């Protein structure tokens, strides 16, 4: 199977639990994964454990990987996550140990002094690239692919692949410059081409196969690594979150809509006509934004929206926030305790219903939200 494509091998393993397919993937990519882990930890033994964990995750997730996945880039990203899981437990010693290791490890690399500064920053920098840029960089410098091969993998023209690669290199240079490492594009390309992948120990592929595909017992520390990495990977999918806290967190530039002018009797007249979650009863509702502790039972619980009108009965507070900020409830990260119990709420103003709900939540509960986009969301 040496000539088979990565995702063909992944599908073969997922469908038939094929050890030869998985072994081909391991031997093809073990040095890439090991190199990422070694740069992050600075210790070969720890890098080997991280490498085993990465391929265990691949074995678990093989059936769920998208057909257009660039496996090398996926493994690079997963190796970063597993390394982060490992380093979280050794945060106090990480920098000192890594610097000491890098100093000894690269003393013989006098011909490329730039790499000594780039290596500790490289994988974080690649992780901050967008998916397409990251795929191009990993294929070029970790897999030694040509522009034509990169274009085929990304399903773009060769010239577009080369432009994307050039832009990605410039983004990496900018990242390094912000951290005090100035390097030219030519020097960066040269360093990446020569140093990105170090050969994994000869026994490591066999060790990974024994643990991943042949059912050898997994150590407690490796299981802990996998659990932590999977948690980080799950959170990374939710790149946009609503952070909810005190009113001082209100993001600059948020549009404020005054709702004080809505008459109390008007709210009550609307509520009095609603006995179940039915938008038909909202058709003639006057402009209203209202939130109150629920007066209904679970039997009528529900939420709906149409033509700019939102109505919900017997809903927890996080659902109210999700409606107001247009996110999934699972992406709400509260900084302060949220009100308990269930609520009814209406927003039937002609325009900007979400902003009106946000303002009313601030007025009644002293809570505001802000959007945050993160490459990785740390979970305690």
Q: What is the dihedral of CA 228, 12, 197, 39, to 10 degrees?
A: 0
Q: What are the pLDDT digits (tens) for 50-101?
A: 999 999 999 888 888 988 999 999 999 999 988 888 877 665 555 555 555 5
- Other C-beta atoms within 10 Å of 313: how many? 25
In the chain, count H helices and then E strands: 15, 7
Name the most confidently modeled range: 268-277, 290-299, 301-310: 290-299
Q: Rounded to 10 degrees, what is the CA torsion of 161, 163, 166, 172?
A: -80
Predicted confidence at residue 248, as pLDDT, reads 33
Element (H, E) at 33: helix 19-41
Give the predicted TM-score (pTM) of the model: 0.49
Is residue 136 within 8 A of residue 168, CB to CB? The reply is yes
- pLDDT(230) > 90: no
- Secondary structure (3-state) at 169: helix
Whether residue 242 contacts residue 331, with contact meaning beta carbons closer than 8 Å, is answered with yes
* Average predicted confidence (pLDDT) for the chain: 75
Contacts with 249 (C-beta within 8 Å, 6 or more apart), sequence order: 243, 335, 368, 369, 370
Q: Is the pLDDT of residue 327 over 60?
A: yes
Residue with more model confidence, 363 or 276: 363
Q: What is the pLDDT of residue 274?
A: 54
Residue 265 confidence (pLDDT) above 70: no
CB 332 within 8 A of CB 321: yes
Residue from 221, 194, 62, 5 nearest 118 by CA? 194
- Reported as a single tens digit per residue, the pLDDT across 333-349 is 776 677 878 888 888 77
CA distance 361 to 347: 12
What number of residues does the chain have?
380
Give CA–CA dist 73/251, Å, rounded. 34
More confident residue, 343 or 372: 343
Closest CA to 122 of 52, 197, 50, 186: 197
Segment 55-68, tens digit of pLDDT: 999 988 888 898 89
Domain ranges of the chain: 6-237, 240-373
Confidence of residue 11 (pLDDT cuts 50, 70, 90): very high
Strands 240-246, 332-334: pairing is parallel
Least confident of 101-115, 124-138, 207-221, 296-310: 101-115
């Amino acid at each position: 199977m040496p000539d088979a494509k990565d995702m063909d091998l992944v599908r073969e393993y997922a469908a038939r639990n094929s050890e030869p397919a998985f072994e081909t993937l391991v031997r093809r990519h073990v040095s890439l994964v090991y190199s990422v882990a070694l740069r992050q930890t600075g210790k070969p033994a720890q890098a080997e454990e991280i490498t085993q964990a990465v391929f265990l995750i691949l074995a678990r997730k093989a059936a769920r990987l998208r057909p257009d996945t660039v496996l090398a880039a996926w493994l690079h990203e997963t190796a970063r996550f597993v390394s982060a899981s490992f380093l979280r437990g050794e945060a106090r010693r990480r920098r000192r140990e890594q610097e000491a290791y890098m100093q000894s490890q690269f003393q013989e690399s006098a011909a490329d002094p730039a790499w000594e500064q780039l290596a500790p920053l490289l994988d974080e920098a690649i992780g901050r690239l967008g998916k397409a840029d990251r795929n191009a960089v990993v294929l070029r410098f970790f897999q030694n692919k040509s522009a034509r091969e990169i274009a085929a993998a990304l399903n773009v023209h060769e010239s577009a692949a080369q432009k994307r690669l050039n832009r990605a290199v410039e983004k990496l240079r900018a990242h390094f410059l912000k951290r005090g490492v100035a390097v030219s594009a030519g020097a960066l390309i040269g360093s990446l081409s020569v140093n990105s992948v170090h050969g994994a120990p000869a026994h490591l592929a066999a060790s990974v196969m024994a643990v991943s595909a042949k059912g050898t017992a997994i150590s407690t520390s490796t299981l802990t690594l996998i659990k932590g990495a999977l948690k980080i990977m799950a959170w990374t999918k939710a790149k946009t979150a609503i952070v909810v806290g005190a009113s001082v967190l209100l993001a600059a530039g948020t549009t404020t809509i005054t709702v004080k002018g809505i008459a109390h009797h008007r709210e009550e007249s609307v509520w009095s006509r609603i006995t179940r979650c039915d938008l038909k009863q909202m058709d003639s509702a006057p402009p209203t934004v209202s939130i109150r502790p629920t007066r209904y039972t679970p039997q009528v619980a529900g939420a709906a929206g149409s033509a700019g009108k939102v109505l919900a009965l017997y809903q927890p507070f996080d659902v109210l926030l999700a409606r107001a900020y247009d996110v999934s409830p699972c992406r709400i990260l509260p900084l302060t305790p949220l009100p308990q119990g269930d609520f009814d709420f209406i927003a039937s103003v002609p325009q900007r219903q979400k902003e009106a709900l946000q303002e009313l939540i601030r007025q009644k509960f002293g809570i505001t939200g802000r959007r945050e986009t993160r490459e990785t969301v740390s979970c305690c």
